[in-house]
Amino acid sequence: MADASPLHPDRWSLDSWFSGFGKADYSDFKTKLVSDVEALKNQASALGSDLAEIARVINALESFSDRLGHLSSYLGCLSADDANDEAVKADEAWISTLDAESTKLQATLRSALAKLDDATFARLLSDASLKNAEHSVKRMREEGQKQMTAEMESLAADLNVNGLHAWGRLYDTLTGKMEFEMTFPDGHTETVPMARRRALMSEPDRKLREAAFHAGQKPWNDHAVTLAAALNGIAGTRLSLYDRRGLPHFLNTPLFDGAMSRKSLDAMLEAIHTNIDLPRRALRKAAKLQGTSALHYFDLEAPQIAAPEEKPLTWDEACDTVEKAFSPAYPRLGSYFGGMLKDRWIEAQPRAGKRPGAFCTGSQLKHEERIYMTFHGTVHDMVTLAHEAGHAWHSCVLRPARSFAASYPMTLAETASNFGEMILLSGLMGDPNITEATKAYLLDQEMLRAHAYLINIPMRYEFEKAFYTERAAGEVSVSRLRELMTEAQRNLYGDTLLDDGTDPMFWAYKMHFFITGVSFYNFPYVFGYLLSQALFARFKVEGASFLPRYEAFLSMTGSATCEEVVKQTLGEDLTNPEFWATALKAMEPSLVGYEAIK
Cβ contact 323:334 at 8 Å: yes
Percentage of residues in the chain with pLDDT exceeding 70?
99
What backbone torsions phi and psi does residue 182 show, to the nearest 5 degrees? Answer: -135, 130
Residues 92 and 131 in one domain: yes
What rounded mean pLDDT belongs to the chain? Answer: 94
**Residues 572, 537: Cα–Cα separation, whole Å:** 13
How buried is residue 488: exposed, middle or buried, by Cβ count under 10 Å (0-12/13-18/19+)?
buried
Any residues with CB less than 8 A from the CB of 365 and at least 6 apart, and which? 66, 67, 69, 70
The H or E element that residue 363 is part of is strand 359-363
Question: Among 434, 466, 497, which residue terminates a domain?
Answer: 434
Nearest to 535 by CA among 594, 578, 579: 579
352 found inside a domain: yes
588 found inside a domain: yes
What beta strand segments (E) does 126-236 contain? 179-183, 189-193
The confidence score (pLDDT) of residue 380 equals 78
354 DSSP 8-state letter: P
**Residues 387, 424: Cα–Cα separation, whole Å:** 9
Cβ contact 597:440 at 8 Å: yes
Residues 444 and 413 in one domain: no
Residues 510 and 364 in one domain: no
Cβ contact 235:468 at 8 Å: yes
The confidence score (pLDDT) of residue 476 equals 98
- Residue 552 gets the label, from left (phi > 0), alpha (psi -120 to 50) or beta, of alpha
539 found inside a domain: yes
Q: Where does the pLDDT of residue 574 fall: very low under 50, low under 70, confident under 90, or very high at 90 and above? A: very high
11 found inside a domain: no
β-strand pairing of 346-347 with 189-193: unpaired
426 found inside a domain: yes
Find the CATH number of the domain harbouring 126: 1.20.140.70
What backbone torsions phi and psi does residue 459 show, to the nearest 5 degrees? Answer: -65, -40
The H or E element that residue 51 is part of is helix 51-81
**Which string of DSSP letters, residue by residue, matches 168-186?**
HHHHHHHHHT-EEEEE-TT
Any residues with CB less than 8 A from the CB of 392 and at least 6 apart, and which? 336, 340, 345, 360, 362, 369, 370, 371
Nearest to 138 by CA among 125, 153, 123, 119: 125
Give pTM, 2 decimals.
0.84
Cβ contact 387:416 at 8 Å: no
Query: pLDDT tens for residues 157-183?
Result: 889 988 999 999 999 999 989 999 999
Q: Where does the pLDDT of residue 324 fall: very low under 50, low under 70, confident under 90, or very high at 90 and above? A: very high
Find the CATH number of the domain harbouring 332: 3.40.390
**pLDDT surpassing 80 at residue 99:** yes
What backbone torsions phi and psi does residue 362 show, to the nearest 5 degrees? Answer: -175, 180
457 found inside a domain: yes
Cβ contact 216:210 at 8 Å: no
Question: Among 120, 147, 174, which residue terminates a domain?
Answer: 147
Q: Where does the pLDDT of residue 3 fall: very low under 50, low under 70, confident under 90, or very high at 90 and above? A: low
Residues 271 and 359 in one domain: no
Residues 440 and 557 in one domain: yes
Residues 296 and 374 in one domain: no
**What length is written for the chain?**
598
Residues 302 and 446 in one domain: yes
Domain tally, the chain? 3
* Residue 81, beta-bridge partner list: none
8 found inside a domain: no
Query: pLDDT tens for residues 187-227?
Result: 999 999 998 999 899 999 999 999 999 999 999 999 999 99
The confidence score (pLDDT) of residue 430 equals 82
The confidence score (pLDDT) of residue 1 equals 47
Residues 382 and 452 in one domain: no
**Which string of DSSP letters, residue by residue, matches 254-305?**
HHHHTT--HHHHHHHHHHHHHTTHHHHHHHHHHHHHHTSSSB-GGGTTS-SS
Summarize the confidence of residues 377-400 as an average pLDDT. Answer: 93
Instruction: Give the number of other Cβ atoms within 10 Å of residue 435's Cβ.
Output: 10
Cβ contact 440:285 at 8 Å: no
Question: Among 434, 466, 500, which residue terminates a domain?
Answer: 434
Q: Where does the pLDDT of residue 442 fall: very low under 50, low under 70, confident under 90, or very high at 90 and above? A: confident
Q: Which amino acid is at 510?
A: K
Grouping H, G, I as helix, E, B as strand and the rest as coil, residue 405 is: helix
The confidence score (pLDDT) of residue 310 equals 59
Compute CA 292 distance to the chain's CA centroid, rounded to the nearest angstrom: 33
The confidence score (pLDDT) of residue 4 equals 56
Residue span of the structural domain in which 411 resides? 311-434
Q: Where does the pLDDT of residue 5 fall: very low under 50, low under 70, confident under 90, or very high at 90 and above? A: low
Cβ contact 367:398 at 8 Å: no
Residues 194 and 275 in one domain: yes
Residues 245 and 346 in one domain: no
What beta strand segments (E) does 368-426 contain? 368-372
**Which string of DSSP letters, residue by residue, matches 527-587?**
HHHHHHHHHHHHHHHHGGGGHHHHHHHHHHTTSS-HHHHHHHHH---TT-HHHHHHHHGGG
Percentage of residues in the chain with pLDDT exceeding 90?
84
Query: pLDDT tens for residues 235-271?
Result: 999 999 999 999 999 999 999 999 999 999 999 999 9
355 DSSP 8-state letter: P
Residues 300 and 443 in one domain: yes
Find the CATH number of the domain harbouring 522: 1.10.1370.20
Summarize the confidence of residues 13-35 as an average pLDDT. Answer: 97
Angle at 279 between CA 277 and CA 482, to 5 degrees: 95
Residues 484 and 583 in one domain: yes
Q: How many CA atoms lie within 13 A of 131 on its CB side?
A: 2
155 found inside a domain: no
